[in-house]
Amino acid sequence: MRSSDTVRYGVIGSGMMGQEHIANLAALDGAAVTAIADPDPGSRDVAAAMVGTGCEVYTDHRALIESGRCDAVVVASPNHTHRTILDDVLATDLAVLIEKPMCTTVADCRHVIELAEGRSAPTWVGLEYRYMPPVARLLDELRSGVTGPVKMVAIREHRFPFLEKVGDWNRFSRNTGGTLVEKCCHFFDLMNLIVRESGGGAPVRVLASGAQDVNHLDESYDGERPDIIDNAFVIVEYDTGERASLDLCMFADATRNQEEISVVGPNGKLEALIPDEVVRIGRRGEHWIGTVDEVHVENTIAYQGHHHGSSLVEHGKLLDLIRHGGRPEVTVHDGLMSVAIGVAAHRSIDERRPVLMSEVLAE
């Protein structure tokens, strides 16, 4: 493919996240959505109206794959459908972006890794939080050595409840993988990336406490109440000594910053605050409590969308990869590990014990 050619995208799953990908691709020079597939007529109609002329609409993802209208595919269907759809998509030479989580189980993630091995086209997992401007700046400062070797990572997300989706499929853990897979794979990916960028190793043990205390308790679907937890604490330990924690609350709408990320090492501390778009930089010996540098990170990304522009950055990187070759920055192994930590955390909550990553990864 010539670098000047327009890359044609098919979007499988045109609900809320499919529409978000369509909006991002519309803001990306050199990309065009030429096909949409979704069994839900309401989602299809909205997505087709967003794209306008020149887009074919299908009820089945296999028809989209076989249409010859696409160079790349975005899989944005409900989590529990990823495995089946990827069986078909990864058998082609189409570039693929898989919306997070890659799958809902470790076994299905391992299956996807096997399918992706040896493909000539890239397979990218949509864990875009690492591209939010304050997080990207934090990572740059980390790589410059501000903290020294990372010892502790703390992430807090205090936010609103899960949004309504088609058929409210996201109300049940069997469809999502559970809250700590569905939502928090982003944060487990960030933990792994931060530790790795500091020269650290792999997660080895997870300890978690969580419950469904507030959200969706008055909802019923064919007599069944949603089972997704809405708050949790998760601790992740690494084989090189680092520790990371997640503080999640999904009934904390009345808050200033939805995400707060803290990274500490022997030489200093870094913080990223979102949506304040602030990074705080503290160097031991130079700063003291209350005197650290505070940088307001300018967000110049052309389309902000739901994730502060990070999805557009992600799509731009994938587009460049399609045109020029190379290796995805977010790999299927990253997708597996972000899901596996979530699976371990849910098991820790259910069984009230620490869970070794080795037992989860053996599945």
* Residue 1 lies inside a defined structural domain of this protein: no
| pLDDT digits (tens), the chain, 363 positions | 555 689 999 999 999 999 999 999 999 999 999 999 999 999 999 999 999 999 999 999 999 999 999 999 999 999 999 999 999 999 999 999 999 999 999 999 999 999 999 899 999 999 999 999 999 999 999 999 999 999 999 999 999 999 999 999 999 999 999 999 999 999 999 999 999 999 999 999 999 999 999 999 999 999 999 999 999 999 999 999 999 999 999 999 999 999 999 999 999 999 999 999 999 999 999 999 999 999 999 999 999 999 999 999 999 999 999 999 999 999 999 999 999 999 999 999 999 999 999 999 998
pLDDT of residue 3: 59
User: Do 119 and 36 share a structural domain?
Assistant: yes
Q: Nearest CA to 50 among 24, 71, 81?
A: 24
Amino acid at 46: V
> What's the domain count of the chain?
2
CATH, residue 50: 3.40.50.720
pLDDT of residue 1: 54
User: Do 152 and 203 share a structural domain?
Assistant: yes
* Residue 95 lies inside a defined structural domain of this protein: yes
User: Do 120 and 135 share a structural domain?
Assistant: no
Return the ∠ at Cα 56 (arms to 54 and 61), rounded to 5°: 145
User: Do 174 and 105 share a structural domain?
Assistant: no
CA 45 to chain centre: 26
In the structure encoding, which two tokens stand for residue 361, read together? 């990864």
User: Do 357 and 214 share a structural domain?
Assistant: yes
- Three-state SS at 185: helix
For every residue of 253-317, DSSP letters joined together read -S-S-SEEEEEEETTEEEEEEETTTEEEEEEBTTB-TT--EEEE-----S--GGGTTHHHHHHHH
pLDDT of residue 121: 96
User: Do 19 and 146 share a structural domain?
Assistant: no
For the purposes of burial, counting CB atoms within 10 Å of the CB of 249, is it exposed (0-12), middle (13-18) or buried (19 or more)? middle
Which residues, listed in sequence order, are joined to residue 271 by a DSSP beta bridge? 262, 280
User: Do 84 and 58 share a structural domain?
Assistant: yes
Q: Nearest CA to 194 among 252, 130, 290, 112?
A: 130
pLDDT of residue 363: 85
Crossing angle of helices 16-26/310-324, nearest 10°?
60
User: Do 250 and 150 share a structural domain?
Assistant: yes
User: Do 92 and 230 share a structural domain?
Assistant: no
pLDDT of residue 34: 98
pLDDT of residue 216: 97
* Residue 2 lies inside a defined structural domain of this protein: no
Q: Which run of H or of E encompasses 97?
A: strand 95-99
CB burial string 183-194: b at 16+ within 10 A, e below: bbbbbbbbbbbb
Residues 6+ apart with CB under 8 A from 253: 159, 160
User: Do 105 and 67 share a structural domain?
Assistant: yes
User: Do 296 and 209 share a structural domain?
Assistant: yes
CB burial string 29-68: b at 16+ within 10 A, e below: eebebbbbbbeeeebbebbbebbeeebbbbeebeebbeee
Domain that holds residue 22: 7-126+310-330
For the purposes of burial, counting CB atoms within 10 Å of the CB of 211, is it exposed (0-12), middle (13-18) or buried (19 or more)? exposed
* Residue 158 lies inside a defined structural domain of this protein: yes
* Residue 357 lies inside a defined structural domain of this protein: yes
User: Do 244 and 108 share a structural domain?
Assistant: no
